Structure 1
Amino acid sequence: MSATIARKLAFARRLNWACYAGLLLLFAIWNLFLEGGSLVLWLLQTVPLLLVLPGMLKQRYRSYLWLCFILLIYICASIVDVMMPARGWQDGVLLVLSLTLFFSAMMASRWQRML
């Protein structure tokens, strides 16, 4: 049982880091390289995600939980943006990355506490 949970936890952490890096990269491309972006908006989008980075590097389960709470804001905003007529590809990518990161962080937190 413990080996199965450890394997699931390792997969959730890898998925977590991939989606986390993907979100930061998306915000950088969206705001720094594409037309209509701004440095202030990039800071507003990335600073909340960076707040939990030290705890995630130390693999603290509470940091994963806080990341889930922070991601709820991104998920709500991206759902609204996806439903707009003038949506772009970034809105769909943001929704998929946010949801995947939310579920992987939630499960990583749960499995980490079980070990």
Structure 2
Amino acid sequence: MAKKTKAIDTVQVARKLEAARKLNWVCYGGLLLLFAVWNLFLDGSVKWWLLQTIPLLLVLPGLLKQNQRSYLWLCFILLLYITAGIVDVMMPTRGWQHGVLAVLSLILFVSSMMSSRWQVQLQNTNT
């Protein structure tokens, strides 16, 4: 029995990919800005700022080139931020920064995952 394949609307997938990439950059910049404000101006240190931003900056060259693997690596890195944000949100003595960290990380994780998926779909239809 032959497997039935569904035709992909490349225009719709390209629109979704573009929207997801824009959302990626908004959340990515938001995380970097959050870490800068949190650690350099509120109650952190330069060491914590470097520790939090370097993992995100490792995938930046690939994201600028729109490399599909960089989106996947970003998802793996974001799992650490999501875990830390959610654990800290549950503690009553923590500030608003942890909630923002959890939300931005979750949104960035989903949009990066979907960007990777839609990029592969578009590449497969073009070949």
TM range (shorter): over 0.9
Look up the SS of the partner of 2:91 in the other structure. coil
- The one of 13, 22, 36 aligned to 2:30: 22
1:33 aligns with: 41
Which stretch of the first structure deviates more once superposed, 62-71 or 87-96?
87-96
Q: Which 4+ stretches in 1 moved above 3 angstroms? A: none
Report how far residue 87 of structure 1 moved: 1.6
Which AA in structure 2 matches 1:94? L
Question: Matched residues in 2 for 1:39 and 1:77: separation?
Answer: 19
Question: Matched residues in 1 for 2:94 and 2:118: separation?
Answer: 36
Which AA in structure 1 matches 2:15? R
Question: Matched residues in 1 for 2:75 and 2:106: separation?
Answer: 10
1:7 aligns with: 15
What is the root-mean-square deviation of aligned Cα atoms in Å? 0.4
1:82 aligns with: 89
Question: Matched residues in 1 for 2:80 and 2:86: separation?
Answer: 10
2:114 aligns with: 107
Question: Matched residues in 1 for 2:28 and 2:47: separation?
Answer: 20
1:64 aligned to 2:51? no
- Percent of matched pairs sharing the same residue: 73
1:44 aligns with: 51
Question: Matched residues in 2 for 1:61 and 1:5: separation?
Answer: 15
Report how far residue 73 of structure 1 moved: 0.3
Structure 2: gaps spanning 5 or more residues: 1-8, 123-127
Question: Matched residues in 2 for 1:17 and 1:72: separation?
Answer: 18
Look up the SS of the partner of 1:59 in the other structure. coil
Report how far residue 84 of structure 1 moved: 0.2
Report how far residue 59 of structure 1 moved: 0.3
Which AA in structure 2 matches 1:21? G
Structure with more relative contact order (C-alpha pairs < 8 Å, separation 6 or more): 1
